[in-house]
Chain A
Amino acid sequence: MDKFTELTAIAAPMPNENIDTDQIIPARFLKTIQRTGLGKNAFAAQRYDENGNENPDFVLNKEPYRQAEILITYDNLGCGSSREHAPWALLDFGIRCVIAPSFADIFFNNCFKNGILPIRLPREICDELMGDARQGSNSRLTIDLEKQIIIRPEGNVVPFEVDPFRRHMLLEGLDDIGQTLAHDAEISSFEHQASRAWVPSISMGTAK
Chain B
Amino acid sequence: MPVSSSPRTLFDKIWADHVVDRLEDGTCILYIDRHLVHEVTSPQAFEGLRMAGRRLRRPDATVAVVDHNVPTSDRSQPIEEPESRLQIETLEKNVAEFGVPYFPLRSASQGIVHVVGPEQGISLPGMTIVCGDSHTSTHGALGALAFGIGTSEVEHVMATQTLLQKPAKNMRVSVEGKVGPGVTAKDIMLAIIGKIGTAGGTGHVIEFAGSAIRDLDMAGRMTLCNMSIEGGAKAGLVAPDETTFAYVKGRPFAPKGEAFEQACAYWRTLASDEGAHFDTEVTLKAEDIVPSVTWGNSPQDVLPIDGIVPSPSDFKDPAQAAQVQRALDYMGLTAGQKIAGTPVDVVFIGSCTNSRLEDLRAAAEVVRGRHVAATVRAMIVPGSGLVKAAAEAEGLDKIFLDAGFEWREAGCSMCLGMNPDRLTPGQRCASTSNRNFEGRQGPGGRTHLCSPSMAAAAAVTGTLCDVRELMKETV
Q: Which residues of A contact B (CB under 8 A)?
A: 15-18, 20, 22-23, 26-28, 30-35, 45, 50, 74-76, 79-84, 87, 102-106, 109-110, 113-114, 163-165, 176-177, 180-181, 183-184, 186-187, 190-191, 193, 195, 197-204, 206-208
B68 to chain A, nearest CB (A): 8
Contact in complex: B232, A207 (CB < 8 Å): no
Q: Of A28, A75, A202, which contacts B101 at CB under 8 A?
A: A202
- Residues on B with C-beta less than 8 A from A23 are 437-439
The reply on B253 being an interface residue by CB < 8 A is: yes
The reply on B314 being an interface residue by CB < 8 A is: no
- Residues on A with C-beta less than 8 A from B255 are 198, 200
A13 to chain B, nearest CB (A): 11
Q: Which residues of B contact A (CB under 8 A)?
A: 1, 17, 20-21, 23, 25, 27, 29, 31, 33, 40-41, 43-44, 47, 52, 54, 57, 60-63, 68-69, 81, 83-84, 86-87, 90, 99, 101-103, 107-109, 122, 124, 127, 132-134, 148-153, 155-156, 159-162, 164, 198-199, 202-203, 229, 232, 234, 252-255, 259, 262-263, 266, 298, 319-320, 322-323, 416-418, 425, 435, 437-440, 443-444
Can you offer 10 A-B residue contacts whose CB atoms are under 8 A? A20-B435, A31-B69, A31-B87, A32-B83, A104-B202, A104-B232, A109-B150, A180-B164, A199-B124, A204-B102
Contact in complex: A82, B254 (CB < 8 Å): no
- Residues on B with C-beta less than 8 A from A193 are 1
Q: Of A20, A31, A84, A198, which contacts B437 at CB under 8 A?
A: A20
Q: Of B54, B418, B440, which contacts A177 at CB under 8 A?
A: B54
Interface-central residue, A18, A22, A45, by most chain B CB under 10 Å: A18
Known contacts A27-B417, A177-B160, A181-B160; A206/B253 CB under 8 A:
yes
Known: A33-B90, A114-B152, A208-B109. 5 other contacts (CB 8 A): A26-B443, A76-B199, A84-B152, A164-B25, A200-B253
A73 to chain B, nearest CB (A): 10
Q: Of B122, B162, B438, which contacts A180 at CB under 8 A?
A: B162
Contact in complex: B234, A82 (CB < 8 Å): no
Complexed CA–CA distance, A127 and B419 (Å):
40
Contact in complex: B437, A80 (CB < 8 Å): yes
B121 to chain A, nearest CB (A): 8
Complexed CA–CA distance, A53 and B304 (Å):
39
B352 to chain A, nearest CB (A): 12
Known contacts A23-B437, A183-B29, A202-B101; A113/B443 CB under 8 A:
no
Q: Of B68, B84, B440, which contacts A22 at CB under 8 A?
A: B440
Q: Of B62, B127, B133, B202, which contacts A105 at CB under 8 A?
A: B202
Contact in complex: B41, A84 (CB < 8 Å): yes
B43 to chain A, nearest CB (A): 4
B324 to chain A, nearest CB (A): 11
- Residues on B with C-beta less than 8 A from A27 are 416-418, 440
- Residues on B with C-beta less than 8 A from A201 are 60-61
